Structure 1
């Protein structure tokens, strides 16, 4: 749960909201073939919820009104990975800051798989 304090009170946003926001922004970037599971926790959720669930490959943590986002992605074969990662970090940062008003301190992108078309 991500919280934001303002003069009128506290705003709480669920992890699912952030996961879906970040996932949609990342998947809309050229070269991203999909989200990858980000470890054993995601592997277990894949068994329970199926292959596609909102927080697949996304972790968002908050400290002092700043967010740290961790992404696990699959990219298309033969594409420039550095360019894809740069595009993702720019798009995700812009979308999250525009939608929430919070500052994104860091985005870590891990390329876990290369997919051939």
Structure 2
């Protein structure tokens, strides 16, 4: 659980909140169709999550005093996957580090599928 130490005390932020912020930041990136469920596949196809379930496509882990964010995504057909992934990494890290104030060390992207966007 991330901590923000301030002069008046400490703010504890639940991992669920961090995953929601990370998922919302990722959804603003071009080329992303949506978040995918980390565990559930139906007939070999990743389940596309709605906005209300964004955090199910994000995993927040602490390893050796470092914060790791794992994002499970579905990208749009015809986009350069490496560029979409890099943009998502940059956006999520910026939002969590500079806007919220949570130090994120790594943002890992797992592409679960490619879909034709509507």
Where on the TM-score scale, by shorter chain, does this alignment land: which range?
0.7 to 0.9
**Structure 1: gaps of 5 or more residues:** 44-49
- The Cα shift of 1:99 comes to 2.9
State the alpha-carbon separation in 2 of the partners of residues 99 and 62 from structure 1: 20
| SS at 1:30 equivalent | coil
TM-score by length of 2: 0.79
TM-score by length of 1: 0.80
How many residues matched?
Answer: 109
Structure (1 or 2) with the greater strand fraction: 2
Q: Which runs of 4+ in 1 moved over 4 A?
A: none
Q: Cα deviations across residues 13-63 of structure 1 (Å, max 9, x unaligned)?
A: 1222111110111011000000001125xx9xxxxxx85424121011235
State the alpha-carbon separation in 2 of the partners of residues 98 and 24 from structure 1: 15
RMSD between superposed Cα atoms in Å: 2.3
Q: Cα deviations across residues 42-97 of structure 1 (Å, max 9, x unaligned)?
A: x9xxxxxx854241210112356642110000001111000001100111000001
**Structure 2: gaps of 5 or more residues:** 43-48
